[in-house]
């Protein structure tokens, strides 16, 4: 609302007066938080970092963050094919099209509000998941029988995507806040798989996925308020947590196994810088791949680095 006032050429203090039904007067912190930086519609303090992180794409990506995000579905091969999903969806007037580079990713073009009542969703044939995490999971090396640890599992979106990609995985889910995994057993059952929840992972794993807590800057078109809530202190705290998680997760990777680091952020300190620093202090690991997706290629902003343990 502060930003809207400024955009309309009004001084927010004329609106935030506390008089009658008007909102309370602004604190100094609120006034600073609403300081919009330039045409990118981003907080002023963040603008240099955004530009440094995105280079020549900075303005275009910021502009794309102001548009409505498409809805994406992931087809679960354990339950059927993309063709099966498309015909079940069509039964409820839901239109979707497969993404050419990943045919199990369906972009919904009409009827998205009916998805959670549709049979394809209720029977675990499709899950809601943005394109970029689907592309990231599709890029991970998997073999039948692999032990896979989803170290920051939350609702289990990544573990479920991996279960669908390679049958016969032994999947384990961990989260510092186990309550976040409460829905995972039901989701796994719906998807036709099993994911074991662990409070303390035991042994080592062929693949460890660290989908770390982050600023969420890649998904700001879905949560536009989040960019105004983020502060420099919060970002610093996130960077510390991300480094700690990387080091912890690395300890669970088997020799010749892989560590996949993921964020839904576009900010370099959370992505490239975090991985560069990790590789500098962990000579056991070498980089295999690094990808960044932005809304300029249809998906949310997302980052993935795949590292191999010697």
Ligand X SMILES: C[S@@+](CC[C@H](N)C(=O)[O-])C[C@H]1O[C@@H](n2cnc3c(N)ncnc32)[C@H](O)[C@@H]1O
List 49, 140, 245, 246, residue binding ligand X (CB under 6 A): 245
Residue 159 to residue 137: CA distance in whole angstroms: 9
Of 101-160, which residues contact ligand X (CB under 6 A)? 151-158
List 1, 4, 110, 176, residue binding ligand X (CB under 6 A): 176
Least distance CB 212 / ligand X (angstroms): 6
State the Rg of the chain over Cα.
Answer: 21
Paired residues of 285 in beta bridges: 309
**Residue 9 backbone class (left: φ over 0; alpha: ψ -120 to 50; beta: rest):** left
Q: Give the residue nearest to ligand X (CB).
A: 157
Residue 168 three-state SS: coil
Question: What tokens were used for 301?
Answer: 């902003």
Interface characters, 188-227, with ligand X (x: CB under 6 A): -----------------------x-x--------------
Least distance CB 177 / ligand X (angstroms): 4
Least distance CB 176 / ligand X (angstroms): 3
The sign of the CA dihedral 172, 177, 178, 182 is negative
CB of 14 or CB of 225, closer to ligand X: 225
Least distance CB 67 / ligand X (angstroms): 23
CB of 200 or CB of 255, closer to ligand X: 200
Nearest to 242, CA basis, from 195, 292, 276: 276
180 binds ligand X (CB under 6 A): yes
* Residue span binding ligand X (CB under 6 A) among the ranges 12-20, 174-182, 218-226, 271-279: 174-182
Distance of CA 150 to the CA centre of its chain: 14
CB of 164 or CB of 213, closer to ligand X: 213
182 binds ligand X (CB under 6 A): no
User: CB of 254 within 8 A of CB of 199?
Assistant: no
Q: How far is CA 149 from CA 43, 187, 203, 205, 301, in A?
A: 36, 17, 10, 6, 24
Q: Which residues of the shown chain bind ligand X in the complex (CB under 6 A)?
A: 151-158, 175-177, 180, 211, 213, 241, 245
């Amino acid at each position: 609302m502060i930003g809207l006032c400024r955009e309309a050429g009004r001084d927010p203090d004329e609106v935030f007066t506390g008089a009658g039904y008007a909102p309370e007067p602004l604190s100094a912190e609120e006034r600073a938080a609403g300081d919009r930086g330039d045409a990118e519609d981003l907080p002023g303090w963040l603008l240099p970092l955004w530009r440094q992180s995105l280079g020549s794409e900075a303005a275009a990506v910021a502009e794309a963050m102001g548009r409505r995000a498409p809805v994406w579905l992931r087809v679960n091969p354990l339950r059927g094919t993309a063709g099966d999903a498309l015909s079940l969806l069509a039964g409820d007037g839901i239109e979707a099209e497969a993404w050419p580079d990943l045919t199990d990713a369906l972009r919904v073009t009409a009827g998205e509000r009916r998805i959670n009542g549709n049979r394809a969703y209720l029977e675990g044939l499709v899950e809601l998941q943005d394109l970029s995490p689907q592309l990231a999971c599709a890029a991970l090396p998997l073999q039948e029988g692999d032990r896979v640890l989803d170290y920051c599992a939350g609702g289990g979106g990544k573990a479920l995507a991996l279960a669908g990609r390679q049958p016969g995985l032994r999947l384990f889910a961990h989260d510092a806040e186990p309550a976040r995994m409460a829905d995972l057993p039901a989701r796994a059952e719906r998807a036709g798989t099993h994911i074991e929840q662990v409070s303390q992972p035991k042994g080592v794993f062929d693949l460890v996925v660290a989908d770390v807590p982050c600023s969420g800057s890649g998904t700001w078109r879905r949560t536009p308020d989040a960019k105004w809530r983020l502060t420099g202190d919060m970002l610093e705290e996130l960077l510390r947590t991300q480094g700690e998680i990387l080091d912890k997760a690395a300890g669970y990777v088997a020799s010749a196994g892989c560590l996949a680091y993921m964020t839904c952020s576009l900010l370099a300190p959370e992505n490239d810088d975090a991985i560069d620093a990790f590789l500098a202090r962990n000579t056991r690991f070498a980089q295999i791949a690094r990808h960044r997706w932005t809304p300029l290629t249809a998906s949310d902003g997302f980052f993935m680095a795949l590292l191999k343990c010697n």
